[in-house]
Structure formats: structure tokens, C-alpha cells
Structure 1
Amino acid sequence: MTIQANAIAVESPLEDLEETVMELIINAGESRSCAMQALYAAKAGKWDEVDGLLAESTAAAKRAHVVQTQLIGADEGTGKVPVNLIMVHAQDHIMTSMLARELIEELIEVHRKLQAKD
């Protein structure tokens, strides 16, 4: 199984598990970071930047999700993928970045409506 995330091809998510998990963490972090930048841009009324940053956030989240899905597939529900602290850490990053992005999108809409009233 070949996965491609951030233009890095890995023959199997289990082949270099540490590198694969780092890809999860990097992409989840990028997703959250871009979403936060979009919120700061919205607060400043820089609406031309907001949509681009949200699109970057979504793209990074999709890259993380692709890797995560392939790890789940490689595991086949049989425990083939070892669960260690770094794997748990990666999952935490994915989940918190997803939640942050969802909440940030809502906050951006609030800022959009408030600024439209002014």
C-alpha cells in the first residue's frame, strides 16, 4: 500500500511508522494553525485572506485524514499497527484540529455578521 501525503511517498504506513505518525501531527498542526490565522484575519476584517486560509486548513486536514485512514486500513482491526504514546499524540492532534477548525468557522461567521452591521 502506498500513501502520499505532502509529496512524500511511503510504501506502507507500517514501513516507517514514526515518519507516518509525524505526517499526521504535521498536517493536523498545519490545519489548526491556518484556521487560527483565518480567525485572526477575520477579527482584523481582512476578508480577502480568510477564505484562502480556511482552504489551506481544509487541505491540510484532508492530508492528515488520508494518512489516518490508510493506517486504519493497514491495521485491519487486528492490532497490526502498534499503539504507542506518539500514535495517541497524533490522534489528539487530529481531533483537536478538527474541533478547532469547526469552532473557528463558526466564530468567523459571527465576526462576518458583526462587521457587516458596522
Structure 2
Amino acid sequence: MEKSQVQLLAFQLIAHSGDALNHFNLALDNAEEGKFQEAQKEIHEGDKALVAAHKAQTGMLTFEARNEVIEYSVIMMHAQDHLMTTLNYERFAKRLIKLYEKMLNEKE
């Protein structure tokens, strides 16, 4: 896999991970305001963006699994960092939304 192909996959990972992170942030904003249905819609959209990111990542992993050479790329390392950060943020956001729901239910 040539460096330009690796960079293209990296930019796809960054873009999709960034989209997902934005949706998870919007989900938290909605949950903080008690808009849990809207929060779940944003979580769903964020999850769809993560699927797209994983597809880009899987393409690269499949290539390497065939023992084909992949050019090292700092951009890909950066992209993987974005993806992992977003995956952790997703888990955090989902837990916080549950906490917001619980707090709101206890107030009522």
C-alpha cells in the first residue's frame, strides 16, 4: 500500500471519527437539557460515523493481513489516536446520558 493510499485512509478515519465525536458531544448537550430522545438520535448518528471509520480501518488491516507492505505514516498514527479517543468518548457519553436520565428521574 503506497503512502498516498495510507494517507487517504487516515483522512477518512479522522473525518469519520470527528463526525462521531461531534454527534456524541451533541448527545451530551441534549441529555444535559433533558432531551433524551434527541440525545439517542445523536448517539445513533455517532455510531454510524464510527462504523464508517471502522470500515476505513478494516481496509488497511486487511491489506496488512495479506502481508503486504504498508508505508509508515504519522498521519495514520494520528488518525488511529482520533479513533481510539472517540471510541472512549462514546462510552463515556453513553454512561453520562444514563446518569443524566437517572438524576432527572430522581428529581421528579
Pairwise same-fold verdict (TM > 0.5): yes
RMSD, aligned α-carbons: 1.9
Residue 72 (structure 1) aligned with residue 40 (structure 2) = no
Which residue in 2 is equivalent to 1:91? 80
Aligned residue in 2 for 1:45: 34
Task: Note if contact 2:3-2:72 (Cα within 8 Å) is conserved in structure 1.
Answer: no
Number of aligned residue pairs: 107
Alignment of 1:107 with 2:96, yes or no, is yes
Higher strand share: 1
The question of 1:23 aligning with 2:12 is answered yes
Structure 1, unmatched stretches of 5+, are: 1-11
Is the Cα–Cα contact under 8 Å of residues 13 and 71 in structure 1 kept in the other structure? no
CA–CA distance in 1 between the matches of 2:81 and 2:66? 20
2:89 counterpart of 1:117: no
Cα separation, 2, equivalents of 1:79 and 1:86:
19
In structure 2, give the amino acid aligned to 1:103. F
Structure 2 CA distance, aligned partners of 1:13 and 1:59?
28
CA contact (8 A) 2:3 2:71 kept: no
| Structure ranking higher on relative contact order (CA contacts 8 Å, 6+ apart) | 2
The gaps in structure 2 that reach 5 residues or longer are none
Structure 2 residue matching 1:16: 3-state secondary structure: helix
Give the 3 Å change call, closer, same or farther, for CA 13–37 of structure 1 in structure 2: farther
Higher helix share: 2
TM-score, scaled to structure 1: 0.82
1:13 and 1:70 in contact (8 A); partners too = no
Deviation at 1:18, TM superposition (A): 2.1
TM, length-normalised to structure 2: 0.89
